[in-house]
Amino acid sequence: MAAQSQAVVPLVDLVAQYRTIQPEIDQAVAGVIGRAAFVGGAENAEFETKFAAFCEARHAVGVGNGTDALFLALKALGIGAGQEVIVPANTFIATSEAVTAAGAKPVFVDVDEGTATISVAAFQAAITPRTAAVIPVHLYGRSADMAPIVAAAKAHGIAVVEDAAQAHGARYQGKRVGTLGDVACFSFYPGKNLGAYGDGGAVVTNDEALAKRVRMLRDHGRKSKYLHETEGHNSRLDNLQAAVLLTKLPHLQGWNEKRVALADLYRKLLEKESTLHLMAPAKAGEHVYHLFVVRTRPEHREAIQKSLSEAGISTGIHYPVPLHLQPAYSQAGYKKGVFPVTERLANEVLSLPMYAELPDATAERIAHALASSAARS
Ligand SMILES: *Cc1c(COP(=O)(O)O)cnc(C)c1O
């Protein structure tokens, strides 16, 4: 049958993307190897300048990965033992791991039903005298509702650390994510909207002193080659990765626009399905659709996922187990039911294939298979 001979549609297709830019990438990588410029190097400095400009921010500091970006940002802010950092329960564990790594305590809160990003009311209710920071996560490629978060944080003297690992290029009230709080953290994990060919990350800020501290902390606390101001870490952005990122950066805006067009197409094809529920639409130009997430009826999700898989369509669940219910946090004593929105989402969300090279005809096939499977379930 024709359907069975069709190639599997992956969630993200990094090989398809490579094919569109292969000569540029190969040349950039060969250049780094030819000059043996593996750590530091011209590509690193140029990428930092250009990524800061892309974010419409003053400074970007390349680091080893997105988790380290969060950790180093918290450390540079002086956050540590005895302090609390508020984190949404609906995110990848890196967000809270960084808090623990810095010596502080992650305090989980629920998210907003329409956007799956941190609930402003829940954040405000969780503030204590020990709260040092909040980490709004721009989940799935859409900014958290930053204006009330920043206002409440200012009123309480709390730092705002954006987790922008899924949202390169997203905007909020016209401003790029990365400039909305005190400091922002990006991941260049291969599958992100801007992905390296390995691990990478960046800390972005308008605060020069903070950027300087991150720069020192990522490189053994160095001021100069053998003068160490403090003990730091080894978490620099690999220069081969910087070369890859520098090559990809001019394409990012176009890739994001394709993701938005694909999301609009999915939305148009699925919005009439009564057994599915779509996330609240975002304003034009704000969402960059790292993921396109639909909500199924919880009792249907497994069967839908299986039937799509049989049709050669990959799907994902972001995320199936909320952080407050992870074994890693069992000591913290959170009970099932405390964050009802996050827990509902965990049972209902389904991520569809999403990448710039995905043909419209394939998206139509995916939407059709999803709609008929949801209706049958
Ligand atoms: C990917 C991701 C991170 C961590 O990035 P790494 O580069 O993999 O360390 C942090 N937060 C969120 C929300 C992410 O999706």
The pLDDT of 164-168, averaged and rounded, is 98
pLDDT exceeds 70 at position 318: yes
pLDDT score of 363? 97
Atom of ligand 1 at shortest distance to CA of 290?
15
Query: In the structure, what pLDDT confidence band is assigned to residue 376 with cuts at 50, 70 and 90?
Result: confident
- Give the percent of the chain with pLDDT over 90: 94
pLDDT score of 112? 97
CA–centroid distance, 87 to ligand 1, in Å, is 14
CA–centroid distance, 361 to ligand 1, in Å, is 31
The label of the residue with tokens 């954006």 reads 162
pLDDT score of 142? 98
pLDDT exceeds 60 at position 212: yes
Question: Which residue has a Cα nearest atom 5 of ligand 1?
Answer: 66
pLDDT score of 375? 85
CA–centroid distance, 105 to ligand 1, in Å, is 19
CA–centroid distance, 187 to ligand 1, in Å, is 5
CA–centroid distance, 376 to ligand 1, in Å, is 36
Atom of ligand 1 at shortest distance to CA of 199?
7
Atom of ligand 1 at shortest distance to CA of 192?
1
pLDDT exceeds 60 at position 5: no
Task: Spell out which residues line ligand 1, taking CB within 6 angstroms.
Answer: 65-67, 91-92, 94-95, 137, 163, 165-166, 187, 189, 199, 201
User: pTM higher than 0.85 for the full model?
Assistant: yes
Name residue 262's amino acid. L
The pLDDT of 187-202, averaged and rounded, is 98
Mutate to test the pocket of ligand 1, among 95, 138, 241 (most ligand atoms within 8 A of CB): 95
Name the residue ranges covered by the structural domains of the chain: 14-246, 252-376
Query: In the structure, what pLDDT confidence band is assigned to residue 3 with cuts at 50, 70 and 90?
Result: very low
CATH number for 14-246 (one of 3.40.50.2300, 3.40.50.300, 3.40.640.10, 3.20.20.70): it is 3.40.640.10
pLDDT digits (tens, 9 = 90+) for 96-139: 999 999 999 999 999 999 999 999 999 999 999 999 999 999 99
pLDDT score of 6? 62
Atom of ligand 1 at shortest distance to CA of 166?
15
- Give the percent of the chain with pLDDT over 70: 98
pLDDT score of 2? 44
Atom of ligand 1 at shortest distance to CA of 200?
7
Atom of ligand 1 at shortest distance to CA of 137?
13
The rounded mean pLDDT for the chain is 96
CA–centroid distance, 180 to ligand 1, in Å, is 19
pLDDT score of 1? 43
Question: Which residue has a Cα nearest atom 6 of ligand 1?
Answer: 66
The pLDDT of 10-36, averaged and rounded, is 97
Atom of ligand 1 at shortest distance to CA of 187?
7
CA–centroid distance, 32 to ligand 1, in Å, is 26
CA–centroid distance, 373 to ligand 1, in Å, is 32
The architecture in CATH of the region 252-376 reads Alpha-Beta Complex (3.90)
pLDDT score of 223? 86
pLDDT digits (tens, 9 = 90+) for 323-355: 999 999 999 999 999 999 999 999 999 999 999
pLDDT digits (tens, 9 = 90+) for 257-298: 999 999 999 999 999 998 999 998 899 899 999 999 999 999
